[in-house]
Chain A
Amino acid sequence: MNETICAVATPLGTGGIGIVRISGPDAQRIGEQVFGRCPPPRRAAFGQFLDGNGEPIDSGIALYFAAPNSFTGEDVLELQGHGGPVVLRLLCERVQELGARLARPGEFTERAFLNDRMDLAQAEAVADLISATTAQAAKASARSLTGEFSREILEIDKEVLDLRVFVEGAIDFAEEEIDFLTEESLVCRADSICTRLQELLRRTELGVSLQQGLQVVIAGAPNVGKSSLLNALLDTERAIVTEVAGTTRDTLEGTIHLDGLPVHLTDTAGMHESDDPIEQVGMNRAREAMDKADLVLWVVDDRETQGNSTLPYEHFVVRNKCDMTNRPHGIVDDRTVRTSATQGEGLDALRQCLKQIAGFQPSDDAFAGRPRHVATLQNALQSANRVVVELKQKSGEVAAEELRSVHKCLGEVVGETTTDDLLGEIFSRFCIGK
């Protein structure tokens, strides 16, 4: 087991603390790169989790357990940060960037058992769990989009096999008066594979964002009713609302579902000129949140005359407090809506706009893929693009290697070692042999 695996170890959603767990030989190195240092074993250390540019993603506690004294029996690193889904996703992506791959269900436990960190009874439970998960997944895939997803992948894999038959045939049977490598049609086939992979990737990415939802940040000047808007949308009393400007000094989050599409809302501190260091911290957080958002809801007081058209983010204007101006609530134009958060007016219109702006009409187009599928399909596409280049240069053996890599990636996505009978295909199609 020398692959390093990672996963978010806490339930996704609105928990206060989120943990990313990493297990495997690279855990220590990843710790050094994400955290700046890997803390000594079994000692909690506080610090910042950094992205590839050295910018902080989040701050929190890192815990390191050296093999074999850990849950899995391997080197384990736990990064405990804030529970927000954006932050956890970014952190998990960063860890993958550094060489870990997302764990399969039950894989941490499985490793624990294989490394003698568990007894027989526990192990049997794990075996039962895997076998149950498999059965469940099989049932689920029969019903869901996954069925179509796998079908599409298998179809592309079939095209890959077709192409491999020609490339491998030309390599292994060069004496047989067949040299397909000089044929233009091979490049066309490779192009077609690229196109299909691109489309598949697009639909999978769409599906993943559907599952992960839209990241929406509520921002604006102090006391324009951002927290009220969040509360109204969440229909809870999560944010503390007072009449004192600058109450929200940190970011607050919540998730709503619009026709099954999760929308993660983040409330931020008001943006204004301030020397208060605490407020400045809050405003910096707000800027970071806007950086990472899919959409910014820029809230203005309806009594103000103008919005903020120079905001450097994809944004939508919410003219709040329309109960104070007696203007009608509802859609103003395609970039503006008028609401009264406290009176609960204009919220339906806002929800409608959110759906439209996001472009997330409930769609048959999306594939219910997972983030790891996206990563693997990206690799497949990259290799497929190389196939085109290498075939143009008639470099058969390298094209063959990239095709093998495409095939391998597709197999990983459908979760099956599809060792196909490449030679069998060659023999059935071409008359080969002396």
Chain B
Amino acid sequence: MKYPDQFDVIIVGGGHAGTEAALASARIGAKTLLVTQSIETLGQMSCNPAIGGIGKSHLVREIDALGGAMALATDEAGIQFRTLNASKGPAVRALRAQADRSLYKAAIRRMVESQPNLSVFQDSVVDLDIAHDRVHSVRCGIGVEIQAGAVVLTTGTFLGGRIFIGKHSRSGGRAGDSASTTLAQKLRAMPFRVGRLKTGTPPRIDGNTVDYSELQEQPGDDPAPAMSFVGSVGMHPRQVPCHITHTNERTHDIIRKGLKDSPMYSGDIAGVGPRYCPSIEDKVVRFADRPQHQIFIEPEGLDTSELYPNGISTSLPFDVQVAAVKSIKGFENAFVTRAGYAIEYDFFDPRDLEPTLETRAIESLFFAGQINGTTGYEEAASQGLLAGINAARKIAGESQWYPRRHEAYLGVLIDDLTSQGTNEPYRMFTSRAEFRLRLRQDNADMRLSECGRELGVVSDERWLAFSAKREAIQDCKTALRSATALPNDPKSHALERVTGSRIERDMKLYEILKRPEVDAKAIHKSGWLSNISTNVLEQAAIDIKYEGYVARQQKEIDSVNAKERLTIPDGLDYEGIDGLSNELRQKLSENRPRTMASASRIPGITPAALSLIAIHSKRGHHQRKIA
């Protein structure tokens, strides 16, 4: 049976990728349908209740600059905001927010429901109708077929999900949800390379049974910063602290004794877990000399006492989990409300995707989120946004878009995934971004707003706010260029007192700001430019501080851009190229780089190999032209 309406874009899945994809597609103006197994779980945070963090808040701010929902929902739901790396430079500073799960979900659901051009339908998708290498419709569990010009799959861990607790295992998505096994089987029959990954969660604890006096309190920042460029402290609900405790030798003994029943050590789990998020049993085994491991206790929300003890994710048998928890300081009488578990799931090799997130094999079919081998809400949401944008543009007959490595963390994410693939759940880190000094969370709006405006995802309201801010920063820089500090000026003396930085000759404030010990606050404190707001002055000061490095990196970027323009034909036969090592041949055949830039990032590649690839690519194009 055909669904009465046709849609431009159908989004399958209502998690962080799905909702951002649906919202972006609808913002652009495409008639969009979001199909989810459960409307109640739209925007559900199925892992720990936190948004942001190092590398991740950078993504959140980029989503925000492109008009996405995540940052604003975080401002509505955030019950603690904390700046990480506050003592380090602005490029690596990051904001982390603890979120109330139900407030977050409610915010996302409200945004989805109030978005024009967007409808939500509850059912599971069991099949895709594909003809002539193009997707035409999705088939739902109740037998309805819904036609669409483009389909975005954001099925998270639900694809072929299998949950492990000790010796017990069962099919399932996130605890409590069913797995999309039918769809997984259908997709496995399509020309995609499929892999298996795993992740885990800790047991949850009833906060009423925890002795807080034994825990170390960690409060948020005061005043709390906002996550969104258009957000404000006024949007935040009541703020609460987090807590810290540690495992001990007794905990480790209990875990070591329980290892024999662990599915990871018995070989029941084939999937690869993330190295940066090891289970507690992994930590105890691999770092046997450590007497303790940190546990970061996150509140699940304002209206619940349940806690998320981050740092003890496990798939040990339930009785071992309970014993291990009770051995921890402050948790002696803790009641475990939900068991920790490991989950194994299918992912599709992202090297089979275009950097636009459209699949290379099937036209108009897009993949976003955990299905591509990533982990984390922020990674998922940013991919969803990109896939939604491109799906909608595809329908409108407009060119595809994706940011480059020097423009956005999203660009790094997309390039890493589609050109290198991944063999563990991929998480963003700032060290993945070679142009880190220009990709800051503070300037995400400066980097992406203009682009987002052209794409049609940035509202008038956001655009006006951004334009005003950009102008203010420009004016501020002009003021800094013209304001001179004289050696005998009282303000100069004030600055010397505040920073210890000597002013021995006439100097422009612009130059003085390049000194490491001088920052925006010091300029204000010394009495300069009091007519300029602290935020604007800070932004200008950060730009000035990194100016030299940004300029130096430009050369590198130019060279990469030139290589981006040199494309490599899809079917280039690396076996037929003399002078390439076997190792390189194999890597090239697996990664199938699209451009010389992407080929140049393959580990072990040499300039000579790149020359050979360039020449053979060109020859490929030549022959095609002749044919």
B313 cross-chain contacts in A, Cβ below 8 A: 434
Q: Interface digits, A144-176 against B, CB 8 Å rule (1 contact, 0 not)?
A: 000000000000000000000000100111111
Cα-based distance from A171 to B53 in the complex (angstroms): 11
- B437 CB contact (under 8 Å) in A132, A181, A397: A397
Cα-based distance from A173 to B91 in the complex (angstroms): 15
A107 cross-chain contacts in B, Cβ below 8 A: 611
CB-nearest residue of chain A to B562: A2
Q: Interface digits, A116-137 against B, CB 8 Å rule (1 contact, 0 not)?
A: 0000100110111011111100
Q: Is the CB of B437 within 8 A of A420?
A: no
Q: Return B409 CB to nearest CB of chain A, in Å.
A: 13
CB-nearest residue of chain B to A110: B611
- Asked if A113 is at the interface (CB within 8 A of a chain B CB), the reply is yes
CB-nearest residue of chain B to A123: B615
- B431 CB contact (under 8 Å) in A114, A123, A171, A394: A171
Cα-based distance from A397 to B90 in the complex (angstroms): 9
Q: Is the CB of B275 within 8 A of A424?
A: yes
- Asked if A417 is at the interface (CB within 8 A of a chain B CB), the reply is yes
Q: Tell me which residues from 383 to 418 in chain A have a Cβ below 8 Å from any Cβ of chain B.
A: 393-398, 400-401, 404, 415-418
Are A123 and B619 CB-contacts (below 8 A) given A171-B54, A401-B436?
yes
- Asked if B463 is at the interface (CB within 8 A of a chain A CB), the reply is no
Q: Is the CB of A104 within 8 A of B607?
A: yes
Q: Return B442 CB to nearest CB of chain A, in Å.
A: 13
Q: Interface digits, B404-435 against A, CB 8 Å rule (1 contact, 0 not)?
A: 00000000000000000000000001111010
Q: Is the CB of A177 within 8 A of B294?
A: yes
Q: Tell me which residues from 55 to 76 in chain A have a Cβ below 8 Å from any Cβ of chain B.
A: none
Q: Return A85 CB to nearest CB of chain B, in Å.
A: 26
Are A434 and B310 CB-contacts (below 8 A) given A114-B615, A127-B612, A416-B604?
yes
Cα-based distance from A393 to B310 in the complex (angstroms): 33
Q: Is the CB of B429 within 8 A of A423?
A: yes
A120 cross-chain contacts in B, Cβ below 8 A: 619, 622
Q: Interface digits, B528-566 against A, CB 8 Å rule (1 contact, 0 not)?
A: 000000000000000000000100000000110110001
Q: Is the CB of A398 within 8 A of B89?
A: yes
CB-nearest residue of chain A to B48: A434
- Asked if B493 is at the interface (CB within 8 A of a chain A CB), the reply is no
CB-nearest residue of chain A to B276: A433
B600 cross-chain contacts in A, Cβ below 8 A: 417
Q: Return A170 CB to nearest CB of chain B, in Å.
A: 8
Cα-based distance from A434 to B436 in the complex (angstroms): 24
- Asked if B606 is at the interface (CB within 8 A of a chain A CB), the reply is yes
Q: Interface digits, B591-627 against A, CB 8 Å rule (1 contact, 0 not)?
A: 0000000001111111110011011101100100000
Q: Is the CB of B612 within 8 A of A113?
A: no
Q: Is the CB of A126 within 8 A of B604?
A: no
Q: Is the CB of A127 within 8 A of B616?
A: yes
Q: Tell me which residues from 72 to 105 in chain A have a Cβ below 8 Å from any Cβ of chain B.
A: 104
Q: Is the CB of A433 within 8 A of B278?
A: yes
A124 cross-chain contacts in B, Cβ below 8 A: 619
Are A110 and B516 CB-contacts (below 8 A) given A174-B88, A401-B437, A417-B601?
no
Q: Return B35 CB to nearest CB of chain A, in Å.
A: 33
- Asked if B296 is at the interface (CB within 8 A of a chain A CB), the reply is yes
B434 cross-chain contacts in A, Cβ below 8 A: 404
Q: Return A326 CB to nearest CB of chain B, in Å.
A: 63
B432 cross-chain contacts in A, Cβ below 8 A: 423
Q: Is the CB of A128 within 8 A of B578?
A: yes
Are A431 and B516 CB-contacts (below 8 A) given A130-B612, A171-B88, A171-B430?
no
Q: Tell me which residues from 301 to 316 in chain B have a Cβ below 8 Å from any Cβ of chain A.
A: 310-311, 313
Cα-based distance from A282 to B549 in the complex (angstroms): 48
CB-nearest residue of chain A to B298: A434
B615 cross-chain contacts in A, Cβ below 8 A: 110, 113-114, 123, 126-127, 130
Segment of B115-123, B135-143, B175-183, B285-293 engaged in the interface with chain A: B285-293
B278 cross-chain contacts in A, Cβ below 8 A: 431, 433
Interface range, B side: 35 or more
Cα-based distance from A395 to B85 in the complex (angstroms): 11
- Asked if A3 is at the interface (CB within 8 A of a chain B CB), the reply is yes
- Asked if A46 is at the interface (CB within 8 A of a chain B CB), the reply is no
CB-nearest residue of chain B to A167: B431
Q: Is the CB of A175 within 8 A of B614?
A: no
Q: Is the CB of B607 within 8 A of A415?
A: yes
Are A174 and B431 CB-contacts (below 8 A) given A123-B618, A415-B607?
no
Cα-based distance from A173 to B577 in the complex (angstroms): 42
CB-nearest residue of chain A to B308: A434
Cα-based distance from A432 to B48 in the complex (angstroms): 16
- Asked if A419 is at the interface (CB within 8 A of a chain B CB), the reply is yes
Cα-based distance from A84 to B527 in the complex (angstroms): 63
Q: Interface digits, B60-90 against A, CB 8 Å rule (1 contact, 0 not)?
A: 0000000000000000000000001101110
B606 cross-chain contacts in A, Cβ below 8 A: 134, 415-417
B622 cross-chain contacts in A, Cβ below 8 A: 120
A424 cross-chain contacts in B, Cβ below 8 A: 275
Q: Is the CB of A174 within 8 A of B54?
A: yes
- Asked if A1 is at the interface (CB within 8 A of a chain B CB), the reply is yes
CB-nearest residue of chain A to B604: A416
A168 cross-chain contacts in B, Cβ below 8 A: 431
Cα-based distance from A126 to B612 in the complex (angstroms): 9
Cα-based distance from A369 to B225 in the complex (angstroms): 53
CB-nearest residue of chain A to B618: A114
CB-nearest residue of chain B to A99: B555
- Asked if B234 is at the interface (CB within 8 A of a chain A CB), the reply is no
- Asked if B92 is at the interface (CB within 8 A of a chain A CB), the reply is yes
Are A396 and B607 CB-contacts (below 8 A) given A131-B579, A174-B84?
no
Q: A114-B614, A426-B431 are in contact. List 5 more A-B contacts (CB 8 A).
A: A2-B562, A417-B605, A417-B606, A422-B431, A431-B286
* Cβ contacts A to B, 16 pairs, < 8 Å: A106-B611, A113-B615, A133-B608, A394-B87, A398-B89, A400-B436, A416-B605, A417-B600, A422-B431, A428-B275, A431-B278, A431-B283, A431-B287, A432-B276, A433-B311, A434-B310
Chain B residues within 8 Å of A, Cβ to Cβ: 48, 53-55, 84-85, 87-89, 91-92, 274-278, 283, 286-287, 290, 293-296, 310-311, 313, 429-432, 434, 436-437, 516, 549, 558-559, 561-562, 566, 577-579, 600-608, 611-612, 614-616, 618-619, 622
Chain A residues within 8 Å of B, Cβ to Cβ: 1-3, 104, 106-107, 110, 113-114, 120, 123-124, 126-128, 130-135, 168, 171-177, 181, 393-398, 400-401, 404, 415-424, 426-428, 431-434
A-B residue pairs, 6 tightest by C-beta: A131-B579, A427-B275, A434-B311, A434-B310, A431-B287, A397-B89
